Every structure is written in structure tokens, then in C-alpha cells.
Amino acid sequence: MSPFRLPPLTRAVLVDIDGVLVDSVDGATFDVLEPTTNRAYITCSSGSRADVDLAVSAAKRAFEEGPWPRMLPRQRATILNRIADEVAALNEDLAAIESFDSGLPIRQAKGQANRAAENFRFFADLIVAQVDGAFRMPDRQVNYVNRKPLGVAGLITPWNTPFMQESWKLAPALASGCTVILKPAEFTPVSAHLWAGIMERAGVPQGVFNIIHGFGESAGDALVKHPDVPLISFTGELGTGKVIYSNCARNMKHMSMELGGKSPAVVFADADFESALDSTLFGVYSLNGERCTASSRILVERPIYDRFVVAYAERAKKIVVGPPSDPKTEIAALVHPEHYRKVTEYIKIGKGEARLVAGGERPEHLPEGNYVQATVFADVPPTARIFQEEIFGPVVSITPFDTDEEAIALANDVEYGLAAYVWTNSIARAHNVSHAIDSGMVWINSHNVRDLRTPFGGVKGSGLGHEGGYRSLDFYSVQQSIHVTLGDVHTTRFGATGYADNDLGLGGPSA
């Protein structure tokens, strides 16, 4: 039974194609589980190739014939701002849905509607302020950039903070004038279903927004391989990213990949101890540890190592694990039994690789559901699997280091390179260590707080391409260069008599 006031959620989550909510073509569905009991509480339409074909042809028609890509930036921005208003109005309802469906603690789910709304307002502002280059060569040529939306965008998203992640792709794709097909994660399809009504009420033209629920291997795969979808924006695991990368290559698709992480927090002895402690605890245990930028490896300088491990373990033992709906809960149920199995398997592995100093078990007062204690491993060697592999749960590895060089080497000794956190009161060290770390983003003396204008993305196994600010708009656009000759065109005259006497400039003027 659904606890929400919103009508469609009591029956089924459907596929939305061309502005119409429909069942999947073959009628297939899958069960959505509620993470505190793992009981199915709703069924969701399961899309496959036939549904993707229908959605792509609707989106293609809307792109080629509809008003959306041709609107003035101000007109699109007005609709994006209406989407933002609709999203912000969801407020407590969205928090309740995210919390119930994905197991996010309710207090941490509360900001999600505002954050998602902010993404739409931000890109609405950007498109009206956007400037593209024009370049003049006096008396010879004028050149300018003709920015055009790329076409039908395939957006594939994960289950952690799902609605927010979806907004992060939908906002720039729509702002750019693309039409879209959203394929949300199958563990958490419920909040994604709200988009259909939001888009309709905000006045998004028919066919611009389409959503196909279903499994990655069927619905996601069909979207990635569809020849009429020229770009894929994907957020998810590295392994899935590799599969999608090779499938996109066959059709030379534009791609953006936001993948996993194993981000280091490097804590030097001269850092503000209490701030580093608070922030590294929050960095790994907020959102149930199911966050891509989690500071899941803490590297601590030897002189403060023992004190840090003891203090960290003491605090971790006091973290409140409980039902997602309880405002006192700090860690709630992990999203799905499959993911719970993965996290608890890593804890088992960790017990053989390092020293367990907190957690490591199911809390006694929570006999069912996907609950696990805040877990801390100390003295973790860099060769350990729990040091190297993304666990994506409330599990942290702590490792000592002696020199700046060793800290940098440990920080970089993994396949991933998404985020890093550096804690020190030395200005020079803060910058030098940050510059030497192979990661897309570094926070100095802070956990993850973002300015939407900055680049977001990882290096190495954490992703391809950076989004954020104008970079996101560039990804969803073609920037066509138009070159106009102002005077006489200057051409080497092939086939004309006296070729050897012609000027040999190939292709005319250059700056």
C-alpha cells in the first residue's frame, strides 16, 4: 500500500510517451520493493525495445516539427522556471516518496525538491544570459557560432537521490532545446513518475519529455543503441559505463559519463581535528553512504592517527540507524536487498583484510530490512579490496601515512578519480596536495558543497566529460562554426593556367 497522496502511485508507475501515460507495449511489469521490509508495494511498467522505439519517434517528431528547439531562450526559460515552481511545490511529498522508496533518511530527503528546482532555475538563467563567440578578420571574414540543440537526448540515471539526479540531466537537456527520453533506475522508479505531471502542468510541449521505466539491460540498452538518439548522458557504475561506452561507440554517440568513486579524505596533523572528524563522518555516512562523492577512504597523518581512529569509531558507534521515516535517523535502510548483499559482502571481506573498529553488523533492533551499522575499518592496506573498490554504503577505510608524497600516492592508488577532500591549515600544502591528486574535484577543509557554475565530473574510472554550468549546455548542443567571406574569396586556382604562379595559400586567411 502506498502512503502517498499522489494518485497514480496507488496503482502502477507507467511509461510516459508523447505526453500519454501508457502501460508497456508487452504489458510487462516489475515489482518495486520498500527497503525497510523488502516487500513489493507497487508495480512498475517495464519498457523494452518496442517502448523505446515509440518514445524515440515521439521525441524525434517533437524535435523536428515541434516548437521546443525553435523557441526563444526567454520562452524556454519561462517554462523551465514553471517546472522549478512545480518541483519546489512538491516539497514534503517528494521527501516522503524518496524516503519511502529509496530508504533515504527523511531529514536528509527534505532538501531534495529545492535542490532539483534550483537546477531548473539555474539553467533557465544561463540560457537567457548565454553568449556565443563571433570573430572578425578585418575586411576578410566574419565567423560566428551557431549553437543548435543536438537532438533526442537519452538520459540514464541511478537510484541514489534519484529525482535530484534526474533534474541534473533534464534541466540542461531541456534548456538546450533537446527533446528527451529519461530512463530512471529500476530500484527507485516512483519519484521519476512525478515528472510527467510536472512537465504537463508547466506547459512543456507534447513529445518533448518521455520516460521509459525498466531494466538497464532491456530499456536502457535499447535507448543506448537507438540510431535516432545522438547523445547519451549516463550516471551509474563504472562497469555499466564501460558497456554503454562501447555500445555508444558503434554509433559515434556523444557521451557524458558520471561514474563511481572511491574518494580520499586526506587529514594532516595540522588540520582542525574536530572539523575534519565531523566532516569525514558526514561525508561517508550521509545519504546512507550511497553517494558517489563519499569520502570512503580516510588517509590520516601518523601523529594524529590513533587519536583520529578512536574518536571516529566512538562517533560512528553512536550514529542512529533506524527507519527512514524517523527524523532522528541518521542512517536508514539501504535501497534494495541486492545492494544490501553487496555491502554486507564487502564488510565480510573487510573483516579479513583490516581491523574492524566499529559496526560491521545488522543493528539488533532492526531484524528485517536492509539495515547495517555504520562500519569503520582501520589500518587498511592499499592492496585491500575495501580500499580499492566502491562499496557505496556506510563503510569507511582508514589508513595512516607519514609524508605528503605518501598521502598523494595513496590518494591516487585506485581506479577512480571523482572527488577528494584535503584537511590542513597550511595554505601551500592544501593547494599542492590538491593539485597532485588525480580527481575531478577537490574540497579543501570542507565536505561536498557545490557552486552549480563549477565543473562537475571525474577522471580515470570516475567518468568522461565534465558537466556543470555552461559545460552542460555545450554537451547538449552542437556549436556550428559559420565562416563568411567579406571581400573577394582568395582561392588557389587548381586547373587554371599558371598554377605554379598562383599564391599557394591553402584555404585562405587564418588569424
Binding positions for ligand NAD, rule: CB under 6 A? 156-160, 165, 183, 185-186, 215-217, 220-221, 224, 235-237, 240, 243-244, 258-261, 292, 390, 392, 418, 458, 463
Q: How many CA atoms lie within 13 A of 417 on its CB side?
A: 20
CA angle 74/258/385 to nearest 5° reads 160
- β pairing state of 134-137 and 141-149: antiparallel
Give the strand order in the sheet containing 39-45. 12-13, 39-45, 29-34
Distinct helix (H) and strand (E) counts, the chain: 15, 23
Decide whether 248 or 357 has the Cβ nearer to ligand NAD.
Answer: 248
> Taking the complex as a whole, how short is the minimal distance between the CB of residue 232 and ligand NAD, in angstroms?
8
Neighbours of 182 (CB within 10 A): 24
Strand partners, 266: 299, 422
> Taking the complex as a whole, how short is the minimal distance between the CB of residue 204 and ligand NAD, in angstroms?
22
> Taking the complex as a whole, how short is the minimal distance between the CB of residue 85 and ligand NAD, in angstroms?
26
Q: Which of 98, 166, 186, 258 is catalytic?
A: 258
Decide whether 207 or 260 has the Cβ nearer to ligand NAD.
Answer: 260
**Cell 558507534 sits at which residue?**
317
Give all strands (DSSP E) within 402-504, no chain letters.
416-417, 419-423, 441-444, 459-460, 463-464, 477-485
Decide whether 176 or 235 has the Cβ nearer to ligand NAD.
Answer: 235
Decide whether 90 or 418 has the Cβ nearer to ligand NAD.
Answer: 418
Residue 333 to residue 288: CA distance in whole angstroms: 8
Residues 6+ apart with CB under 8 A from 427: none
Q: Which of 118, 292, 301, 467 is catalytic?
A: 292
Residues 265 and 447: beta-carbon distance below 8 Å: no
Decide whether 98 or 221 has the Cβ nearer to ligand NAD.
Answer: 221
> Taking the complex as a whole, how short is the minimal distance between the CB of residue 237 and ligand NAD, in angstroms?
4
Q: Which residue is nearest to ligand NAD (CB)?
A: 216
Q: Is 330 a catalytic residue?
A: no
> Taking the complex as a whole, how short is the minimal distance between the CB of residue 458 and ligand NAD, in angstroms?
6
Residue 107 to residue 324: CA distance in whole angstroms: 9
Cell of 397: 577505510
Q: Is 258 a catalytic residue?
A: yes
Decide whether 229 or 316 has the Cβ nearer to ligand NAD.
Answer: 229
Residues annotated catalytic, as ranges: 258, 292
